[in-house]
Amino acid sequence: MNARPDFLLTVENLTVSFDGFKAVDGLSFYVEQNECRVIIGPNGAGKTTVLDLICGRTKATSGKVEFKNQELLKMREDQIVHAGVGRKFQTPTVYEDLTVFENLEISYPKGHGVFGALTFRRDDAVISRIDEIAATVFLEELLEEKAAYLSHGQKQWLEIGMLLIQDPELLMLDEPVAGMSVAERKKTAELLNRIIQDRSVIVIEHDMKFVEDIATRVTVLHQGKVLSEGSMAHVQADPKVIEVYLGH
Amino acid sequence: MFLNKNRFFSNTDLIGFALLALLIFVMLPVGLDVFRLNLFGKYLTYAFVAIGLVLCWGAGGILSLGQGVFFGLGGYCMAMFLKLEASSPEATKIQSTPGIPDFMDWNQIAEIPFWWQPFHSLTFSLVAVIIIPVIFAFIIGVAMFRRRVGGVYFAIITQAIAAILTILIIGQQGYTGGVNGITDLRTLKGWDIRTDDAKVILYFVNGGLLFACLFIAQIIRKSKLGRILIAMRDQEDRVRFSGYDVANFKIFVFCAGAAFAAVGGAMFTLQVGFMSPSFVGIVPSIEMVIFCAVGGRLSIIGAVYGALLVNLAKTTFSELFPELWLLGLGGLFIAVVLAFPNGLAGIYKDYVEPRIALIFKRKMHIDEDVSKYDPLEAAAD
Amino acid sequence: MFADYSMGELGAIFAMQGFAGLILFSVFVLMALGLAIIFGQMGVINMAHGEFMILGAYVTYLTSNLFSEYMPALFSMYFFLAMILAFIVAGALGMFVEWALIRHLYKRPLDTLLATWGLSLIMQQIYRSVFGAREVGVTIPEWMMGSLPLTDTIEIPINGIFVMVLATGISIAVYIMMFRSSWGKQVRAVTQNRVMAGAVGINTERTDRLTFGIGCGVAGVAGSAFTMIGSTGPTAGQLYIVDTFLVVVFGGAASLLGTIASAFSISQAQSIMEFFLSGSMAKVLTLLTVVGILMLRPQGLFALKLRK
């Protein structure tokens, strides 16, 4: 089973077991360049675990994950990031004691070694890039604010901004609109539509309307396995999917 | 815009450094006799450890309960050199084997062991003072942080290491001087360190080194590395997924803390004239944490005051009411944790600084320098 | 080093050292059980654990004095009452400490560590003021003295057997309490998901207080048992605390079986090495091995792989 080189991400036979419980079980899927893949599925289907496995947060029991023909399973988290994979967590994860500017600055892809960080200088390139990203995620007015004082939605945006500044080729978003107000939700949908243009994205989302808007293809997970895969219309018509979502 | 500048010293920091320098280099030497000045010099050697703990614990969230290990290693490296110099064949001619340290002679050891030999050289010893503790910290750091041991587990294991080293030093008394430590140190390259003049000079050397460490710590804090430490303390996973190898940063800051502690230990040996396992073990190590906590775990200047005040209180109380000292110290631990988690620096920031700012505001409209904001001094939890 | 001994002597040495190791094992188990409840289940670092044990020892000491003064006829049985008293006194103090101190710090484990260290200093000073700095020993009832001869060369002290029996009994009691009673279920529910446990009607505050109290109470009983094999001084608790924590961490903090297994391996290693090396080197080697293994396997011997 050789991965086709034109896929950006190849996941094959991925399995992880926690004391015998297989949260992800022989999972295979492929993501193409510039594709927006949405993963849906009931609670406990293993959606977040899949993202954890790809970005190295959880170690897989077996299988393979190839990104641009590099095996990710053998790499450390920071190496995976440098390879071009960005990950947003389900709950907004920002540095509350630092300002918005400093939050973005830490994610700026320069000075990542110990001595690089010691000698890092805030030059004009850094500042203009941070200003640019802040404007993209609607936070240009709040650069000097401590992240702790942001609203829930603004923290989500900040975390997305922290990913964008790394300019990853593959962006993985775990429920990016969860817990947002209706207005924030709309703004975020716009934002996501803009940022998924020139990169591949994997999104976990429950909001079907939102999924329909952005998805190139949809993968439905159930009990750690792929239940169905295809266009939104295809999976919505799939009797197995209907069974899982409505059957019980 | 202030963000463009990223200066290493804000105005508040400069005032803090200047006031501390005034205290250490002018007020204390003028106001105290040589005996008391030497005592303050001893207190200040603990400040080195406390500064390291501000970096590791306050900023990085890594609580080491084994800083005494590094303080002790630094101190022992210095003491070994001084002991060899004090054990010339003439000075030790009453021993059964002249020319070796007295405790070796008492333990029927007739020859200086090979690993003592390099400590005949002052250069080697001075390098060893820093390098040996740093290598030791590096090994511990790599083993622990690479395997993601953190938090309370790290604290317990460092404490166990402090216990192990103490038992080892006490058990191997023929090579280490045992429970009494290495005592009766006299001269440094022929210069008698026991005279009043030497004590004053050593006090100033100590102060100078302390400021060197303070400057290094300030630069670490104010660089991007300092902000990464805070980020790591609060959201370790996010830092990792922003492309940082978190373990390297922890190892670095742990080694930096160890190096500071080691310098403190060496200066302790020089000023006090001996080194013993009672500065290595569990109890002294955790007391060093309280110096840092009382001063303010987020403020390097605060840590210096913390070390001074707690030790001053210790000396005063244990002279006057020896019964009460342990109660006081215990109470201090509890009070600092429950009521003042940011220590003296936190109290200063919350109560004193606003008043000062108010006075200044009345006198003149404060200038537009807003760069006082310092994430390190922001809330800890 | 073996050449000087005959086979029979060697066997006897190993048996005796092994038995000495079993007594040390019982001591470790008794010490670690209370901590396994407090640290393993609640995640609280109690550096004053040793002082709670010493409290139990002092309670036993007082009870024995009381009996020999006023009820010499019942002296042979005083120990059982002493043990119950030790549990109650240490447990009550534990509940008070939880209320006054620990409950404010559940989210700051490192700070709990410092605060309980402060508590341990205070308790030590109080012991010193009340009982004096010198170690005190209790009079062991007659039936516990002497030893059982197994063969000509192997003798087993009765108080050692008693401590072993006690350790077994208390382990079983703790196991039943934690894993077979509804209270144990509540404790585990609260540790695993505090908010949810509160939502389904468990009084989380009371559960915390009771758990901490019982952990301290078990420490008190351990201290009580110690008086049968050694004397007690104000700072004796501090000597044990590192060992105890290592036993619990080494076993895998949340696993009772792990705690017992690690207590067994550490005590056996130490007592067998003690025969060939000096006591301090045996201790150094044992602790180094434990720390080394913990660096390789930080989650301890027995730990579940969990979904984060």
Domain with C198 in it:
27-143+153-237
**Secondary structure letter of residue B63 according to DSSP:** -
Domain assignment present for C303: no
Which chain A residues are within 8 Å of B235, Cβ to Cβ?
93-95
Q: C242 contacts in B (CB within 8 Å)?
A: 156, 159-160, 163, 282
Q: What is the CATH number of the domain that holds A13?
A: 3.40.50.300
Domain membership of residue C64 (yes or no) is yes
Q: What distance in Å separates residue A58's CA from the closest CA in chain C?
A: 8
- Higher pLDDT pick, B98 / C154: B98
Confidence check: pLDDT of A192 > 90: no
What ipTM score was computed for the predicted complex, to two decimals?
A: 0.87
Do residues B270 and B260 lie in contact, with contact meaning Cβ atoms separated by under 8 Å? no
Mutate to test the interface with C, among B237, B297, B333, B338 (most CBs of C within 10 A): B333
Position B379 scores a pLDDT of 41
Q: Test C129 with B323 for CB contact under 8 angstroms.
A: yes
State the number of CA atoms in the 13 A half-sphere of C165 facing the CB. 8
Residue A167: phi and psi, rounded to 5, are 50, 60
pTM of the entire predicted model: 0.89
Whether C250 maps to a domain, the answer reads no
Task: List the structure tokens of C257.
Answer: 């079986």
Q: Please state, in angstroms and rounded to a whole number, the distance separating the CA atoms of residues C268 and C271.
A: 5
Residue A237 included in any domain: yes
Residue A1 domain flag? no
List of chain B residues whose C-beta atoms are within 8 Å of the C-beta of residue C108 = 337, 341, 381
Residues in chain B: 381
- Compute the distance between CA of residue A46 and CA of residue A73 in angstroms, rounded to an integer: 17
Residue-level pLDDT at A1: 44
Does residue C14 sit within a domain?
no
Phi, psi of C136 (to 5 degrees): -115, 145
Question: Mean pLDDT for chain C?
Answer: 83
Instruction: Using alpha carbons, list the distances in angstroms from residue B330 to B49, C7, C47, C109.
Output: 20, 54, 12, 18
The residues, any chain, with a CB within 8 Å of residue A230's CB and separated by 6 or more, are A217, A218, A238
Check if the beta carbon of residue C263 is closer than 8 Å to that of residue C251. Answer: yes
> Least CA distance to B381: which residue of chain A?
A97
The answer to whether residues B206 and B44 touch, using CB atoms and an 8 Å cutoff, is yes
> For A109-113, B286-290, C12-16, C265-269, which range has the lowest pLDDT when averaged over its residues?
C12-16
CB pair distance less than 8 Å for C307 and A23: yes
Supply the DSSP symbol for A3: P
- pLDDT at position C49 is 93
Q: Locate the chain C residue with the closest alpha carbon to B322.
A: C125
Q: Give the rounded distance of the alpha carbon of B175 from its chain centre.
A: 26
Beta-carbon contacts of C275 under 8 Å, excluding residues fewer than 6 positions away, are C13, C17
DSSP, collapsed to helix, strand or coil, labels residue A6 as: coil
**Torsion angle defined by CA atoms of residues B146, B152, B156 and B158, in that order, rounded to the nearest 10 degrees:** 50
Is residue A98 in some structural domain? yes
The token pair that represents B53 in the structure block: 């703990």
**What amino acid is encoded at B374 in this protein?**
D
Between chains, do B327 and C117 touch, taking CB under 8 Å as contact? no
Chain B positions in Cβ-Cβ contact with residue C282 (cut-off 8 Å): none
Structural domain harbouring A54: 7-246
Sign of CA dihedral A233, A235, A240, A243: negative
Which of C264, C252, C247 shows the shortest CA–CA distance to C49? C247
Residue B48, C-beta contacts closer than 8 angstroms, at least 6 positions apart: B71, B209, B210, B213, B260, B261, B263, B264, B267
DSSP for B12-61 reads HHHHHHHHHHHIIIIIHHHHS-HHHHHHHHHHHHHHHHHHHHIIIIIIT-
Partners of residue A120 in chain B, C-beta under 8 Å? 223-225
Q: Please report the pLDDT score of residue B375 as a whole number.
A: 46
Report how many domains make up chain A: 1
Q: pLDDT tens track of chain B, all 381 residues?
A: 344 445 678 878 888 899 999 999 999 999 999 999 999 999 999 999 999 999 999 999 999 999 999 999 999 999 999 999 999 888 888 888 888 999 999 998 888 999 999 999 999 999 999 999 999 999 999 988 988 887 888 998 999 999 999 999 999 989 999 999 999 999 998 899 999 999 999 999 999 999 999 999 999 999 999 999 999 988 898 999 999 999 999 999 999 999 999 999 999 999 999 999 999 999 999 999 999 999 989 999 999 999 999 999 999 888 888 778 889 889 998 999 898 888 888 888 888 878 877 877 766 554 444 444 444 444 433
Segments of chain C assigned E as strands: 147-149, 155-157
Mean pLDDT over each residue of chain A, to the nearest integer: 87
Q: C293 — contact with chain B (CB < 8 Å)?
A: no
Q: CB of C109 within 8 Å of any CB in chain B?
A: yes
B195: its two tokens: 């005279």
CA distance A93 to A102: 14
Give the one of A19, A21, A58 whose C-beta lies nearest to C308's C-beta: A58
Instruction: Flag whether C132 is in a domain.
Output: yes
Rg over alpha carbons for chain C, rounded to the nearest Å, is 20
CB of A19 less than 8 A from some CB of C: yes
- Average pLDDT on C109-126 reads 91
Percentage of chain C surpassing pLDDT 90?
20
For residue B111, what are the contacts with CB-CB under 8 A and spacing of at least 6?
B97, B100
C11 domain-assigned: no
Closest-approach residue (CA) in chain B for C132? B323
Chain C environment of A21 (Cβ under 8 Å):
307
Report pLDDT for B266.
Answer: 97
Cβ contacts of A132 within 8 Å, gap of 6 or more: none
User: What's the pLDDT tens digit per position in A214-231?
Assistant: 888 899 988 888 888 888
What is the mean predicted confidence (pLDDT) over A93-105? 92
Where are chain B's structural domains? 2-377
How many domains in chain C? 1
pLDDT value at residue B18: 92
Assigned domain for A42 exists: yes
State whether B170 and C284 contact (CB < 8 Å): no
Task: Give the range with max mean pLDDT: A123-137, C4-18, C172-186.
Answer: A123-137
